[in-house]
Structure 1
Amino acid sequence: MTDHDGVCVLLPTMNEAETVARVVADFRDAGFENVLVIDGGSTDDTQSIARDSGARVVEQSGRGKGQAVREAVRDHVEAPYVLMADADATYDADDAAAMLDPLFDGEAEHVVGDRFADMRPGAMTRLNRVGNRLINLAFRAIHREDYGDILSGYRAFTRESFLRLHLTADGFGIETEMAVECVKNRVPVAVVPITYRERPGGSATNLHPVRDGGVIFLELYRKAKTNNPLFYFGSVGVASTAAGIAMASFVLYRYLAFGISHEVVAVGAVGATILGIQLLVFGFLADMIHTLHREQIARYEQAVGGGATGGSAAAGDGGEASRPDETPEAREPER
């Protein structure tokens, strides 16, 4: 039995007839026999080609990449490790071993493939490159973690850690949501450099840069409510306060320069300023509560872990024989 026997290669597809055979063959040649293609109802020959290439093919019950990934891992994957990639031949199966190593070594439970480490010419348009950079900067600013390339579709993760994440995105926002949920649930994440290639001629992308980019930005901001409440409420508070100050400056200028009063604008300025200050205060309070909550959770987990270790040590002192699978570290009482 090899390490690959416990890995399921997951390929979400939608009209990928031009490339799916090549992708399935590459992963099988790399030693992965368990290749699962979950298809979103392709109108071309994607399903039959994937099946003929040796993949197990399932048609998803809903729509969108996010729903496909959730359904596949929940209902159709039994392997403890999942290696997720796109079926458009932009990712390299030769990077699979490096992607899985942090999982096998216990260093991480979720691995992100960094496309910017070796991006081949033509692999990404200038608009997409700028959009990706902005989204990654926003992620670092909002969620205070650096995962390199949160929009990468090349992922490796344990099935158990995936099921702990609260995922709701149906479309291309699934990668962003996975990154945010990893921060929220403190899932250990590793970033691995990978090669990212240009799509082969004849294959068309299902990505709409402007529309999907907007959805991703909104998802990042929406998730900040629970991960970084100071940013979530504070950003609106700053904007409201700035608008109130701008309106107040306009009213004051018009009154001093021309003797014209703008009562309605003045009332709006006061309201916007008060609202902004209240949101800022609420953001600070929410951030304090969030920090205290995380500290309490960390202490609870540490206490539970310490209690379990102490219990094992006590059992050993009571004369019971140690189990064969116990390590010396597990049998030794804490000092």
Structure 2
Amino acid sequence: MNSIAIILPAYNEELTIKETILSFYNELPNANIVVVDNNSNDKTSEIVQNTFKKFDIKGKLLFEARQGKGNAIRYAFQKIEADIYIMSDADMTYPASEIYKLIEPIINEDVDMVVGDRISRGDYARENKRPLHTFGNQLVKKLVNKLFNANISDIMSGYRAFSKKFVKNYPILVEGFELETNMTLHALDKRFKIKEVSIDYKDRPEGSFSKLNTINDGAKVLFTIFQIFRYYKPLLFFSILSVLFALLSLLSAIPVFNDWILYKYIYHVPLAILATGLGLISIILFSAGIILDAIVYQNKLEFEQRLL
């Protein structure tokens, strides 16, 4: 029988953590429920310990002082051994009753990551009160699908199941709520098997507050887009920059060419120097893209060898 670990990162979730634990316990009483207290300053840890003790729940409370969901999940992945890992939020937004949909493809279809899709049924659009978050999600989704020739509906879902192979071969380098996007990118880039299953979704209960910030997270979305190009598609990224500098070089050189055509002499010497410098930068950027693309390919080759 497959061992299952349910990982719940929690930061100031005293209003919802008990109900979240019990909802998963009622569905899978033999699962190892792991709560990662991510430096909470309320009664989250106390409630977790009391809930485990009162209901005789097989569970574990971990502490991660470094702020950020990525740090919390990274610590749990290091400390917990299981055949199947479930990641969910501790705010009652993801129904525990949907957990079987996430587990089944891991067991029967050899899938490495199952994503709980909040989008397809329209629940997220209906429940989410932050339209800018929806816009950011859509922007990142379209970019990722385009670059990786994929068809992922919910890039940023926090309700996921993972095989042990994925967890033990996924280096978590992000710290915050970029985690879900990073997981998806890693799975696509390293060709892990991904499956989405439609799930119900509801907004946080009244009195519980999201840790997301529209402005800060909007900036993180833009930075994520930048990172996607830079880390996963370096040739494309540096080629775009190279073309930009090449165009600037040509624009700067127009008066220089005009001088030479009309007078057989260059009067705009500073522009000639600028055009030459911009042209050299363009060549350097394109060369860097080619080199980094070769390095990315080599890293993929070594990763595949490690998996084998």
Q: TM-score of the superposition, structure 2-length normalised? A: 0.82
Q: Select 1:39's aligned residue among 37, 40, 43.
A: 37
Residue 118 in 1 paired to residue 121 in 2?
Answer: yes
Task: Count residues with an aligned counterpart.
Answer: 295
- CA–CA distance in structure 2, aligned partners of residues 125 and 250 of structure 1: 50
**Which residue in the other structure is 1:318 paired with?**
none
Residue 14 in 1 paired to residue 11 in 2?
Answer: yes
Q: 1:214 to 1:8 in 2, by over 3 A?
A: same
Matches within 5 A, 1:210-229: 210-229=215-234
Instruction: Name which structure has the greater RCO, CA cutoff 8 Å, separation 6+.
Output: 2
The aligned amino acid for 2:174 is A
SS at match of 2:12: coil
Q: 1:39 to 1:142 in 2, by over 3 A?
A: same
**Which residue in the other structure is 2:76 paired with?**
72
CA offsets 1:211-269 (integer angstroms, 9 cap, x no match): 2333344345335445322222122223323333444458889999xxxx754344333
- CA–CA distance in structure 1, aligned partners of residues 291 and 85 of structure 2: 39
Q: TM-score of the superposition, structure 1-length normalised? A: 0.76
- CA–CA distance in structure 1, aligned partners of residues 41 and 301 of structure 2: 51
Moved more, 233-242 or 220-229: 220-229
**Which residue in the other structure is 2:106 paired with?**
103
- CA–CA distance in structure 2, aligned partners of residues 11 and 49 of structure 1: 14
**Which residue in the other structure is 2:21 paired with?**
24
Q: Select 1:280's aligned residue among 269, 272, 286.
A: 286
Matches within 5 A, 1:204-243: 204-243=209-248
Moved more, 289-298 or 93-102: 289-298
Whether the 8 Å contact between 1:13 and 1:86 is mirrored in structure 2 is: yes
* CA displacement at 1:287 relative to structure 2: 4.1
**Which residue in the other structure is 2:264 paired with?**
none
* CA displacement at 1:79 relative to structure 2: 1.7
Q: 1:252 to 1:49 in 2, by over 3 A?
A: farther
- CA–CA distance in structure 1, aligned partners of residues 240 and 155 of structure 2: 22
SS at match of 1:171: coil
* CA displacement at 1:296 relative to structure 2: 9.4
- CA–CA distance in structure 1, aligned partners of residues 283 and 149 of structure 2: 24
- CA–CA distance in structure 2, aligned partners of residues 24 and 253 of structure 1: 74
The aligned amino acid for 1:200 is P
The aligned amino acid for 1:69 is I
The aligned amino acid for 1:160 is K
**Which residue in the other structure is 1:148 paired with?**
153
Residue 270 in 1 paired to residue 270 in 2?
Answer: no
**Which residue in the other structure is 1:165 paired with?**
170
Matches within 5 A, 1:312-327: none
Whether the 8 Å contact between 1:180 and 1:220 is mirrored in structure 2 is: no
CA offsets 1:18-74 (integer angstroms, 9 cap, x no match): 111221121112124421110112111111222333353221142211111011111
- CA–CA distance in structure 2, aligned partners of residues 111 and 246 of structure 1: 50
Q: Percent of aligned pairs with the same residue?
A: 27
Residue 52 in 1 paired to residue 50 in 2?
Answer: yes
Whether the 8 Å contact between 1:8 and 1:81 is mirrored in structure 2 is: yes
CA offsets 1:175-200 (integer angstroms, 9 cap, x no match): 22222222333222112222221111
The aligned amino acid for 1:83 is I
Q: Which runs of 5+ in 1 are unaligned?
A: 306-335
Rg comparison, structure with higher value: 1
CA offsets 1:111-167 (integer angstroms, 9 cap, x no match): 122221234323242111001111112223344434322211111102332121122
- CA–CA distance in structure 2, aligned partners of residues 149 and 253 of structure 1: 53
The aligned amino acid for 1:150 is I
Moved more, 205-214 or 130-139: 205-214
